[in-house]
Amino acid sequence: MIKELISDKIVPLKLTDPVRLAVHMMEDNKVSHLPVVDGSSYLGLISESKLYAVGDDSTAIGSLVHELETHCIYESQHCYDALKLVAGFSLSVLPVVNDEKKFLGVVTISDLVRDFADSMSVTSPGTVIVLEIGQRDYSMEELAHIVESNDAKILSSTITSTPDNMKMEVTLKVNRLDAGSILQTLHRYNYTIKASYGENEYDDGLQDRFQALMRYINI
C-alpha cells in the first residue's frame, strides 16, 4: 500500500503563502512540485514553472488555484499506481489523500524507487535471466517449477511486451549466482534465453548504479 511510503518531510503550501516561500521550499526540498491545501483538504499541486511565471513573488498561492494540477493518489492504492502517475505526468512528488480528499502527506520519487528496488530484489545477490517467450507459451507456473527443481527460488519477475505483440520478454531474478543448471533446464524446455547475468561483478555494478541513481534523485 502507498500509505506505507507517506512522508511528512515536505510541508504543503497554504493559500496565504507567498510565491517566494513556495520557490524557497522547492529549492530546499529539491522538487519541482508542491501540494497546496486549504486546512486539511487537498486542492492540488503547484508546479515550479507556474511559480516562475508569476511576476510578483509576494503573490499569494491562493490566487493561483486555477493553475493547480489535481494529481494525487489514495492511501489504499498500490505503489504501482504511484509509479504510473509519477512517470505519466513527470511529477517530483505525489500527494496522498484519504477517501475524503484530506491531505495525508506525499510520496517522493526516491522513496518510490527504493520501494520498487526492494520489491524487485534489485540489490540482492543472484542471477538475472532474460527469456523471449511467445504470448501463448508463457507459464509462470512452469518457470517456477524449472527454477525450484534446481534448488533455487524466483526473487522477482517482470514482463515486457515486444512490438509485434506475439512475443514477450520475461526477466527473472533468481537467488543463485551460479545458474548454469537452471539455464540448461530452460534450454531443454526449449526456452529462448536472450541473456543471463550472474557474475559477482554484475551484482556489484548493479548495486553501484542503484546507489548512483539514489544520489542523483536526491541532488
209 pLDDT band, cuts 50/70/90, is low
* Mean pLDDT to the nearest integer, 108-134: 83
> Would you say residue 208 has pLDDT above 70?
no
| pTM, to two decimals | 0.68
- State the CATH number of the domain containing residue 158: 3.30.70.2040
Chain segment 33-83, per-residue pLDDT in tens = 999 999 999 999 999 999 999 989 999 999 999 999 999 999 999 888 998
Spatial CB neighbours of 74, under 8 Å, sequence gap ≥ 6: 2, 96, 97, 98, 99
Cα separation of 68 and 65, whole Å? 5
User: In terms of residue numbers, what domain contains 69?
Assistant: 2-114
Instruction: Kindly report the three-state secondary structure assignment for every residue of 194-208.
Output: EEEECCHHHHHHHHH
Phi, psi of 90 (to 5 degrees): 50, 50
* Mean pLDDT to the nearest integer, 130-155: 94
* 7 in the same domain as 84: yes
212 pLDDT band, cuts 50/70/90, is low
Number of domains in the chain: 2
* 84 in the same domain as 42: yes
> Would you say residue 164 has pLDDT above 80?
no
Cα separation of 9 and 20, whole Å? 19
* Mean pLDDT to the nearest integer, 152-180: 87
Q: What is the pLDDT of residue 204?
A: 53
Domain contains 219: no
